[in-house]
Amino acid sequence: MRNHIICLISLLAIWPAVGWADSATFGLQSQQLTTAYTSLSEALNNAAEADTIVVTASGMMDEQVTIPDGVVLLVPFDEANTLYLDKPATKAETDLTRYVKPTRYCELTLSENASITIAEGGAVSVSAKQYIYPSRGQYATGAPQGPCGYIKLEKGSQIYVEEGGRLYAWGFIYGEGLVFVDFDAWVYEMMQLKTWRGGISEDIVEEPYLIFPFNAYFVQNIEAKVVYAEFAVEKLRMGLIADGMVHQEIAEFVGSDGLLDFEYGQMVRTYDPEKDCMLFAINGDLYIGSITVKEYSSRDYVMGLSSNFSFRVDSGELAMPFSMSLQPGSEIYIAKDALVSLGADDNRTHSFYVYDYEQAWKGKDYAFSADRVVPDYSPTLDAAPAIPTIEDAKIVNNGTIETYSTFYTTEGGANICSTDAGIVIFHQVAPDSVTYQVSGKKTTPEAIQVTSALLKNADGSYTTTADAEQESTFEYKDGKWINTAQTPLSVIDQNPSIHRKFIHNGHLYIRHKKHIYNAQGM
């Protein structure tokens, strides 16, 4: 008890000053916290085989330590040192208290070059309670709220989650350091749902609508840089109100059964709270799969990519085989030698939609009361982010887009552009059609007119693709998208690559069936 009082007094006296003047202290549950260790390594040396180490006073840590098998490091959120592993508690359904802004109950700061390695069987739990209000409210359900545990990572510091290690980020991890999630290492965060379409969900999942039940969501308990190795795993806990009841669901965010199936290379996630942008930089192969909430799997509907999600494909391939919509504010950047594939050669029934802001989004109130919503809280800012200026959904294509699905923009055109040289291969050209969103101003989904993707030229005009032949190719040359015939090249190499794309003499080539095509022009 005395140590927790010291922790709270320290918070009041020091915050919001930058950093901490004192070193953190640690206690062992096996010793009933009777000894206040002044270093984490000292606490580890005295820990039992299966023990919980508690941060008993906020402060700085400047060591490089490993959390071994069976040991848990807890950054607490309450006086009882309540430990949550794979399932944080929620506010009681009878608690009618509205959302309470997160506050620092206890904070561990890793100084420059300090590190925590979580070995197989070890765990770090940054604890907090999850907010679920048993009625409609303006705040994101599933978010951390009230007193929370925090870890601040100074520049040069790191949390390294090894294979078989667990990092439970129910509170917040932020700062200029990084979190590295290795092969078969596990991370847990909360998924904040700013909108859940509630009572009309049964209607919107039926033909012809097929709308996934939410389109504004955030994953940012960790605002520090996160580096994912191939086959890393991240699980999400979300809270929602459905059928008049509180539900706490778990979904896979990163992994073979999740929304982001990262199979090769490295993926880096960064968050900019000033712009409210969660950016995923890809060097490898990322497959955007599906996320399942209750009985709904997004692969069966049109999944909205939230306005604060963006992807940068530096190398490799971003595969998006299911129906999705890129909402205003989001961006996909495709580097010179990178590939984005929409749909799949063996299933061309899906569609990909790119939204413009002015005609298809502005003032429409799609499932929320503003054109753009932001998280209710950012630990980096210690406040809610400002609402950024919203723009058309944007795809900057300096590499290749290969479309097996129908590829649409809303009637305003959105912003599919290039700044260098890009190519779009249409295996099928989309007929004019409609897609749907749920408007808070209407009781039924609203139809939105869409057309085969309009490609934006350097002067702001558009090149239309609706009248193109099937299997057409559009290349960006001298500031304009041009429809160019796919002429099979002479054989360059009998077996240049087993993949669909390869580089030869500085040019990007696409292998399609029996032919090889020059993707960048000769």
**pLDDT tens-digit map of 330-381:** 999 999 989 999 998 888 889 999 999 999 999 888 877 778 889 999 999 9
d(CA 317, CA 333): 12
Residue 393: per-residue pLDDT: 97
The dihedrals phi and psi of 513, each to the nearest 5 degrees, come to 55, -120
d(CA 368, CA 156): 39
State the sign of the Cα–Cα–Cα–Cα dihedral 236, 241, 246, 247.
negative
By the 8 A CB rule, do 479 and 468 touch?
A: no
Residue 202: per-residue pLDDT: 65
Residue 20: per-residue pLDDT: 42
- The CB density around residue 256, as the number of other CB atoms within 10 Å, is 12
Enter the tokens of residue 437: 């969103």
Report pTM: 0.87
d(CA 321, CA 436): 19
Residue 164: per-residue pLDDT: 97
- The CB density around residue 82, as the number of other CB atoms within 10 Å, is 15
- Residues paired with 502 in a beta bridge: 509
Decide: helix, strand or coil at residue 29. Answer: helix
Dmax (CA) of the chain:
80
By the 8 A CB rule, do 308 and 373 touch?
A: no
d(CA 459, CA 418): 12
Residue 213: per-residue pLDDT: 79
Nearest CA-CA partner of 90 in 298, 245, 297, 259: 245
Please, what is the Cα angle at 257 between 256 and 259, to 5 degrees? 95
Positions of the chain with pLDDT lower than 50, given as ranges: 1-21, 487-507, 510-522
pLDDT, tens only, 53-100: 999 999 999 999 999 999 999 999 999 999 999 999 887 656 667 789
Please name the residues in contact with 21: beta carbons below 8 A apart, sequence gap of 6 or more.
Answer: 14, 59
Please, what is the Cα angle at 229 between 225 and 233, to 5 degrees? 90
DSSP for 447-512 reads: EEEEEE--EE-TTS-EE--TTSPTTEEEEEETTEEEEE--PPPPPS-SSS-SSSEEEETTEEEEEE
- Residues paired with 403 in a beta bridge: 342, 426
Please name the residues in contact with 97: beta carbons below 8 A apart, sequence gap of 6 or more.
Answer: 91
Burial class (CB in 10 A: 0-12, 13-18, 19+), 31: middle
